[in-house]
């Protein structure tokens, strides 16, 4: 945490950010650039460390990401912060830990088995689904990615967005919000087999849901799977260190194990009550945590609740990390898999499995499962010849991602802002960082023009 917490400067704006994940850290970073060194930026984090859903542990002697892992090389907000901080990135494709086949598993056999290393469209996929279906899918993912990338230019040109849907609309992404990925694919005459099998497998891996996800989320996931060019990286020392170092560099005063219980608009300031201490006044407060999970009482000047219920539900995702040797040929004849995607077949017992590293201490590979329910012992016993270590973590991972996502405005009331409703449309480290960037722009505008809006 910051070596030199900043002292308050009389008259300088005082901003509280609740949550130190991608959204809160990016908002803090942007605010420092907009407001200059005198602004007092304080981050309140419920957990004992920075990062939120970017979280790594030491397991079997190695560092393992449990949550948000992969960053696309087009992700300009996160990568520009990493570059400015001189942070080392590691490339996924360079990592021999991932060596092994891509397997699309239906519970009985591998529908697709391919050595993916360095290949954008593996031959096995082309053979099974035909080149034109894959090219149409690629075209769709590339178009959505180009739209998303236009957000950066709009932000750089000074566009301010008051609502998540305004940002998405300005980037031409509204057409991807009203329908499922399966519907978007069907409009492009992409074969249902490709959607029900391979695409569903990718989406179960990335979002715990199949092709009924809102099309924008689906296309972002497919871009992440390499269908729209670019490649994937992660922070060498763990993704959360990007956020910890960013907060440190901008000298944000960061309070850890400081859960906020109340945010109250009172007179000309906003009171933040954190960690059992007295309420402290701020000029602006940004809530960078899902409102449904944050457990904060947020009230306006008349004691009125500022947050309406969207009926949004976060999904349980069980992450199970295993050190062990896979049962030979469990996934059919051929080399041991590097990534196992699955079709929607409940008897499989998990959504995805990937080889994520190698334990030098135990001399066996490290694997990570995602499942919608706690991974059954019977699955472990079947998939592994021998299990040497297991770590389980349950996430409230992301909202159920469905068409016609609903949002509350970024500005709940002057002085109180939220970022995480953006996740109703798509939930990644970069999209959250980008939404955080926009909310910082909005806060800065409001602070500079107190009479406007």
Q: Which helix (H) or strand (E) holds 83?
A: helix 76-85
Contacts to ligand FAD by CB under 6 A: 18-24, 44-47, 52-54, 67-70, 259-260, 288-289, 294-296, 317, 319, 395, 397-398, 420, 427-430, 432
Contacts of 409 (CB under 8 A, 6+ apart): 162, 163
> Smallest gap, in angstroms, from Cβ of residue 108 to ligand FAD?
27
Least distance in angstroms from the C-beta of 421 to ligand FAD: 10
Query: Minimum Å distance from CB 36 to ligand FAD?
Result: 24
Residue 437 C-beta: closest distance to ligand FAD, Å: 12
Cβ-proximal residues to 390 (8 Å cutoff; 6+ apart), any chain: 320, 321, 322, 323, 380
The nearer residue to ligand FAD, 261 or 445, going by C-beta atoms, is 261
In the bound state with ligand FAD, the residue whose beta carbon lies nearer, of 123 and 262, is 262
Q: Which of residues 42 and 111 has its CB atom nearest to ligand FAD in the complex?
A: 42
DSSP type of residue 328: T
Inter-axis angle of helices 215-222 and 200-207, to 10 degrees? 100
Q: What is the DSSP secondary-structure string of 376-428?
A: PHHHHHHHEEEEEEEEEEEEEEEE---SS-----SEEETTEEE-GGGGGT---
Q: Which is nearer to ligand FAD, 339 or 432 (CB)?
A: 432
Between 317 and 443, name the residue whose CB sits nearer to ligand FAD: 317
| Smallest gap from residue 135 Cβ to ligand FAD (A) | 26
Task: Give CA 88 to chain center in angstroms.
Answer: 20
Contacts of residue 35, Cβ cutoff 8 Å, sequence gap at least 6: 12, 13, 15, 41, 444, 447
Residue bearing tokens 């809530």: 287
For the CB of residue 334, give the shortest distance to ligand FAD in the complex, in Å. 26
Supply the minimum distance, in Å, between the C-beta of residue 413 and ligand FAD.
Answer: 18
- 124 or 285: CB nearest ligand FAD: 285
In this complex, which beta carbon is closest to ligand FAD, that of residue 21 or of residue 190? 21
């Amino acid at each position: 945490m910051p070596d030199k917490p900043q002292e308050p400067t009389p008259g300088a704006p005082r901003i509280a950010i609740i949550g130190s994940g991608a959204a809160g850290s990016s908002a803090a970073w942007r605010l420092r650039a907009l407001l200059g060194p005198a602004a007092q930026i304080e981050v309140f984090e419920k957990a004992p460390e920075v990062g939120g859903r970017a979280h790594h542990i030491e397991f079997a002697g190695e560092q393992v990401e449990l949550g948000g892992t992969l960053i696309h090389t087009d992700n300009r907000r996160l990568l520009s912060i990493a570059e400015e901080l001189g942070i080392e990135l590691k490339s996924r494709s360079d990592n021999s830990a991932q060596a092994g086949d891509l397997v699309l598993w239906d519970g009985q056999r591998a529908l697709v088995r391919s050595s993916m290393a360095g290949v954008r469209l593996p031959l096995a996929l082309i053979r099974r689904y035909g080149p034109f279906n894959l090219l149409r899918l690629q075209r769709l993912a590339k178009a959505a990615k180009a739209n998303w990338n236009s957000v950066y230019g709009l932000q750089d040109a000074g566009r301010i967005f008051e609502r998540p849907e305004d940002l998405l609309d300005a980037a031409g992404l509204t057409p991807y919000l009203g329908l499922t990925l399966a519907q978007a694919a069907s409009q492009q005459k992409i074969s249902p087999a490709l959607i029900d099998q391979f695409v569903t497998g990718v989406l179960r891996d990335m979002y715990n849901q199949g092709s009924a996800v809102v099309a924008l989320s689906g296309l972002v996931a497919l871009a992440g799977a390499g269908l729209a060019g670019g490649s994937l990286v992660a922070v060498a020392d763990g993704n959360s260190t990007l956020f910890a170092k960013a907060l440190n560099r901008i000298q944000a005063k960061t309070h850890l194990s400081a859960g906020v219980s109340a945010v109250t608009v009172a007179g000309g300031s906003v009171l933040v009550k954190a960690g059992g201490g007295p309420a402290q006044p701020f000029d602006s407060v940004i809530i960078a945590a899902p409102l449904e999970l944050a457990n904060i009482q947020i009230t306006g000047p008349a004691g009125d609740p500022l947050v309406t219920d969207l009926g949004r539900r976060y999904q349980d995702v069980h992450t199970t990390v295993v050190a062990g040797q896979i049962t030979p040929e469990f996934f059919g004849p051929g080399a041991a898999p590097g990534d196992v995607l699955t079709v929607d077949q409940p008897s499989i017992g998990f959504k995805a499995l990937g080889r994520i590293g190698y334990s030098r201490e135990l001399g066996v590979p490290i694997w990570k499962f995602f499942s919608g329910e706690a991974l059954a012992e019977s699955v472990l016993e079947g998939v592994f010849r021998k299990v040497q270590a297991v770590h389980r973590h349950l996430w409230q991972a992301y909202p159920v991602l469905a068409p016609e996502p609903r949002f509350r405005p970024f500005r709940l009331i002057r002085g109180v802002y939220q970022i995480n409703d953006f996740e109703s449309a798509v939930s990644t480290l970069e999209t959250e960082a980008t939404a955080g960037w926009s909310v910082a722009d909005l806060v800065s505008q409001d602070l500079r023009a107190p009479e406007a809006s």
